[in-house]
Amino acid sequence: MLSAFWQFTCVSSDEIRLDQSPAVVKRPGETVKISCGVGGVELTQTDSVLVKPGESFSISCVHSVELIQTGSTVLTPGQSLTLTCKVSGYSLTDSSYCTNWIRQPAGKTLEWIGAICGSGNTYYSEKLKSRFQVSRDTSSSTVTLTGQNMQTEDTAVYYCARHSQ
């Protein structure tokens, strides 16, 4: 089975560019280098994402102006999860931006859960859309992630992140 492992980093800057070697197919264990450059300075960090044959994957550099999240939450299997993220420095109704929820289980790569954009449209990971919902309250500038029937495999660090459309 052929797969691709990506090396990448994302940074916050007005001058972000994505440089990649020409399209290649790699075997398991081999890497392709992708990096984000900022004002002529290249920053790299090793992280990997497995892309299976026939699947596609895209990388977006995400950054925030200021995102303040709730603290730690401990649940038992079957319970619901509610996390909130208070944003500042941009409006939740600004059509230029989407606010995303991403999680990272210990020792694993980041996993995108879903997003809500300035238009109010929501987008979800196919794998997680049946159990998670992203909503917003524009009056308090908060974005909320709600998860249903949480299980031990949902244990992770959850992040909110803004990206430009």
**Beta bridge partner(s), residue 145:** 83, 134
pLDDT at res. 36: 41
| Residue 165: pLDDT over 90 | no
Structure tokens at 61: 């550099």
100 class by beta-carbon count within 10 Å (0-12 exposed, 13-18 middle, 19+ buried): buried
Tell me what pLDDT residue 6 has.
41
- Confidence grade of residue 13 (pLDDT, cut at 50, 70, 90): very low
pLDDT band at 138 (very low <50, low <70, confident <90, very high): very high
| Residue 24: per-residue pLDDT | 56
Residue 135: strand pairing partners = 144
| pLDDT at position 54 | 60
Q: What is the reported pTM?
A: 0.60
Beta carbons within 8 Å of 163's beta carbon, 6+ residues apart: 60, 61, 62, 63, 97, 98, 100, 115
Categorize the per-residue pLDDT at 149 as very low, low, confident or very high, splitting at 50, 70 and 90.
Answer: very high
CB 62 within 8 Å of CB 84: no
Give the tens place of pLDDT for each residue, 42-58: 444 434 445 556 655 55
* 3-class secondary-structure state, position 154: helix
- What is the location of CATH 2.60.40.10 in the chain? 66-164
Written out in words, the top-level CATH class of the domain with range 66-164 is mainly beta
